[in-house]
Structure 1
């Protein structure tokens, strides 16, 4: 019996404790400290090698080599120094599995498989006015003199160059998506790893999102939460946006609304509450949900998540409702994803299955010791698969033929890695977590080429990057997107100094070299994180400070210039309503397109008091 996801944990509003880069896994040469800079506001004390308190690298076994020299002219503000070449990173040091150097055949082996594949409730808010004002100015004010920043940045960068450490990884925030529904907040594809984009330059070309005539947004509507039984948590997972409809799951139903007014356009009854949904919409306006097979009894007990429904978002017409098996033998699922005319369903306990858009089963779970854990669609269909007995499973990532489920190639994971999260299907990029919070975070990112061979493995410090991944899901990681041969990450908030307070950045790594890029997007007074790619641009959400609204911005992938597309009203009631949707968490839903922003939640519960109201979604439109 499938349980609903647990409430997301908010990231602590605290500065990081050490450097963004993990401790190097290979010995590094000793470093000599640089001479302090002269003049100005006084030279700050040089930090220890490794940056921001990171442990000093162990002494090398080989005779020491000369340390790298600091450049004659310090790098400009906000740009981390070039990194020295590092030896290939071994794969966790577990066994001779290892990770090959770029261009070499992986040690663990790639092979073709011929067999058939089968594969919190949130705080209540007070009601808002139907319309509201908003500030259209877009950026954040900075209360620190640029001279202070330049001097400090130069000193820190020089120290980190000599010490062999890394500052905040730089970022080039550009990309392209492969999904039909560009309003969605989770992108599944980009160009080939490190290769050229659709415009032939390495970037994804022009974006579709344009700057509205007035970026100040007003409230279009709020959707009141349905009444639920006391002490229960009910699922309203699923929201979709087209040109003419914003659709949101309710309890035992889906409702289509006018995107501008919130007026109901249609209602689609479901057998029970939603357990999972496709985040994308096909080119023909189709979406899918999996729901429980019956309404919950008065006590709120969950029912079996077995009923798959395909429907038209624009009209609310149900195309079909299917299951794999019937009654007590029906299989359960939690994830749905489209690739062309194939709807793949996964996340169950006995493997995945797939349907065509007419409702015919293309493949379904087979008996055996192997099963598909889940799928990620888009331009290609990628599966995470496990084989073996309980507590001794082996996992692999596969590229599938969407019509047959047969693997085109398989990439085996090292023993002990059991929580692969697909970040992109073209190129195939996935993350894994290790440590105490392995299932909900990412500590290593793997980039594969078109034949399933490893291009690079990027090891990162999840204490420095802000991930929120749904436990047990193949998809569902927020604040990380892939495009233009890069993976874009949001750093955790940290002290910016001066009058700004807390801030964070968008940064990126190159999927071909595995190294951080020199591009970077600063949040300023805002907390910024990526939503999806829009051509060669990156679409991002900015959570405003106490006196400013939230923003949707587009960042030019080449110039890194931020342009505000929409800003919400800055009133306290609006900010509280937005906060209740927990933007950026894996349980939140953010849809943006054409000057329209919709925030939704996946779980609801009874309000804390009779005079307070709870909402499942809030919409904003540009004036």
Structure 2
């Protein structure tokens, strides 16, 4: 790979993340997000070719397929650095990309002022010495049909005692010493449209895990998987966010059954008890306001609905409109990002350079108090965090990239120095999931990034200090499996180690200051491992000692397909 041109009178610099210029001078400054294994889609997925942070890696010799069906498998450098600061070599992003996070990644659980932008997890050692007490059999449960649904679409809900109509199988059979259990497992049998059906939403609220599937939202008990409630919407669910406020969230569904129907209907849902709240239509803000794949984000009582160049904000509590992005002067904001009580907007100016700006936004009014201007040609690829603000920027034409940290006043605080081995964000022309496409995690002062995975090799989790921008530590590589950060809590970073056909996944913890990983959950091998490893583009969450792995898209070809798998002690 050729080195980028060096500034005059400066020695060549090693490959790595570049750095944006320091505080801008007058005329440049602050005017009044093979296959990418990390691209998660907890929201707004799948794309034309769905993918996620845990893509299926077929073994060399593929064993016979089990009863639960098989999901289809599915860089930038940086702006000119100041003296002594190295540029980062270009890394080609994978195909278009929410678990995640669980971001990927991006999107989002708050822990002590932290914004989760991707999902991931770590493992747990426990078990009964392989005796296999309380081994569950696969269970079947999925959304009921809607009487307004297409006549060709049907759902076999089953009675919850089998695996969806196929052969029964004890997923905990032959557990090894130290392995934990499959607590329960849900499958679905749907005869749906040729493109399949989405199942993107997953929330854990108290003792309930909530999952969307096509036109329905269903709550299950986290301990036993028993269905607690189900809501059926009039049409297909077409927009979700992994965020919630006091257990309440908003989903979007279409205004009709036809192929030309718009995704412009909102409904608030109380995830704790399955109660439906208000329903409203998102008003069209202009001639070119297109409702195809809106992206949702919320913080506190504010929900933003992003479309192509248009945004509207509403109260989560009442559905009343708060503001939109139309402005009479200045650069017009496009997409808004929200979380942890914070909100920012990304604006593209109509000047010759198509300058991009980042600005803060009041969640109640949308008004801004500061503006950060990006260098010429740069756009925001991924938003890793809003508190602190951590942005992954890229210039596709020059193949440059930079990760910057902004202070609460919008001033550039630092840039992250890396070696170029990290996958870039997924913010492309047709992918605006800036908060939900990565597999990274940010706590109060640390950015945790996974390095790119290579076949047969383990990747690493790298921690960066957000004050200095320098690397703090790297997790020890091992076992040749993909690691993805899930969350940080109680002085630990929780990481998910991907399952393989003959190895169950694991949840690990690493001390926030670095150190040896410790297993806190070890999923069983045997018949459970091939099921866990074949989830394609899954949503992954770890809460209260349980690991939740669920599908984000089903083929819906009237065959049993895995929907939700839960592991624990």
In 2 relative to 1, CA 604–240 (structure 1 residues): closer, same or farther, beyond 3 Å? same
Q: Does 2:343 correspond to 1:343?
A: no
The 1:322/1:165 distance shift into structure 2, 3 A limit, reads closer
Q: Does 1:456 align with 2:414?
A: yes
User: In the alignment, which residue of structure 2 is the partner of 1:556?
Assistant: 511
* Residue in structure 2 matched with residue 597 of structure 1 by the alignment: 547
The answer to whether 1:580 aligns with 2:534 is yes
Normalised by the size of structure 1, how large is the TM-score? 0.63
Are 2:61 and 1:100 aligned? no
**2 CA distance for matches of 1:306 and 1:503?**
43
Counterpart residue number, 1:619: 565
Cα deviation for residue 398 of structure 1 reads 1.6
Quote how far apart the aligned CAs of 1:225 are.
Answer: 4.7
1:542–1:437 distance in 2 versus 1, CA, 3 Å:
farther
- Report the 3-state secondary structure (helix = DSSP H, G, I; strand = E; otherwise coil) of the residue aligned with 1:502: coil
Decide which of 458, 463, 466 is 1:511's aligned counterpart: 466
Q: Which residue of 2 aligns with 1:275?
A: 238
Name the structure 1 match of 2:389.
428
- The answer (yes or no) to whether the contact 2:310–2:325 under 8 Å persists in 1 is yes
SS where residue 190 of structure 2 aligns? Answer: coil
User: CA offsets per residue over residues 300-357 of structure 1, 9 Å max, x none?
Assistant: x252111122111111111112223279988636222222222222244423323242
Question: Is the CA contact (8 Å cut-off) linking 1:363 and 1:405 kept in structure 2?
Answer: yes
Relative to structure 1, is the Cα distance of residues 437 and 302 closer, same or farther in structure 2, using a 3 angstrom cutoff?
Answer: farther
**1:419, distance to aligned residue in structure 2 (A):** 3.8
Write out aligned runs for 1:313-462 (5 A): 313-325=271-283, 332=291, 334-366=294-326, 370-388=332-350, 393-435=354-396, 443-458=401-416, 460=418
Aligned length: 451
The 1:458/1:181 distance shift into structure 2, 3 A limit, reads closer
Match among 180, 192, 200 for residue 228 of structure 1: 192
1:109 to 2:21 alignment: no
The alignment status of 1:126 with 2:66, answered yes or no, reads yes
Q: Secondary structure at the match of 2:28?
A: coil
Task: Summarize the Cα distance change of 1:595–1:166 in structure 2 as closer, same or farther, 3 Å threshold.
Answer: farther
Residue 207 of structure 2 corresponds to residue 244 of structure 1: yes
SS at match of 1:469: coil
**Structure 1 CA distance, aligned partners of 2:87 and 2:327?**
49
Q: Is the 8 A contact 1:528 1:542 kept in 2?
A: yes
* Aligned partner of residue 311 in structure 2, secondary structure: coil
- State the match for 1:491 in structure 2: 451
SS at match of 1:522: coil
1:430 Cα deviation from its structure 2 partner: 1.0
- Check whether the contact 1:374–1:385 (CA below 8 A) recurs between aligned residues: no
Deviation at 1:106, TM superposition (A): 8.9
1:367 Cα deviation (Å)? 5.8
Q: Secondary structure at the match of 1:265?
A: strand
Are the structure 2 counterparts of residues 530 and 336 from structure 1 closer, same or farther at C-alpha, using a change threshold of 3 Å?
same
Aligned to 2:264, what secondary structure does the other structure show? strand
After superposition, what is the alpha-carbon deviation per residue over 1:225-281, rounded to whole angstroms, capped at 9, x for unaligned?
53213x323322211112221111111121112223332221112232222212123
CA distance, structure 2, for counterparts of residue 348 and residue 252 of structure 1: 24
Counterparts in 2 of 1:450 and 1:107: CA distance versus 1, 3 Å: farther
Aligned mates of 2:204, 2:349 — CA distance in 1 = 38
1:528-571 per-residue CA deviation (whole Å, 9 max, x = no partner) reads: 12122224321111014553210112211125232222222212
Preserved CA contact (<8 Å) 1:311 1:319: yes
Q: Using the TM superposition, give the Cα deviation of residue 412 of structure 1 relative to its aligned residue in structure 2, in angstroms.
A: 1.6
Report 1:48-67 matches (<5 A). 61=9
Structure 1 residues 455 and 404, CA gap change in structure 2 (3 angstroms): same
Q: Which has the larger radius of gyration?
A: 1
Which of 293, 296, 303 pairs up with 2:255?
A: 293
Question: Contact 1:596/1:619 (CA < 8 Å) preserved in 2?
Answer: no
Instruction: Give the alignment partner of residue 492 of structure 2, picking from 505, 525, 537.
Output: 537
What do residues 130-173 of structure 1 show as CA deviations (whole Å, max 9, x unaligned)? xxxxxxxxxxxxxxxxxxxxxxxxxxxxxxxxxx9999xxxxxx
CA distance in 2, matches of 1:246, 1:394: 43
* Divergent runs of 4+, >6 A: 84-88, 104-107, 121-125, 164-167, 188-192, 208-212, 326-331
CA distance in 1, matches of 2:366, 2:183: 44
More helix by share: 1
1:217 CA displacement: 2.3
Whether the 8 Å CA contact 2:290–2:307 is kept in 1: the answer is no
Contact preservation (8 Å) 2:215, 2:232: yes
Unmatched 5+ residue regions in structure 1?
A: 1-17, 28-59, 66-83, 92-98, 113-119, 130-163, 168-179, 198-207, 496-500
Superposition deviation, residue 588 in structure 1: 3.1
Q: CA deviation at 1:383?
A: 2.0
Separation of aligned partners in 1, 2:507 and 2:26: 41
Judged with a 3 Å threshold, the aligned counterparts in structure 2 of structure 1 residues 397 and 420 are, in CA distance, closer, same or farther, namely: farther
1:400 and 1:165 mapped to 2: Cα distance?
Answer: 33
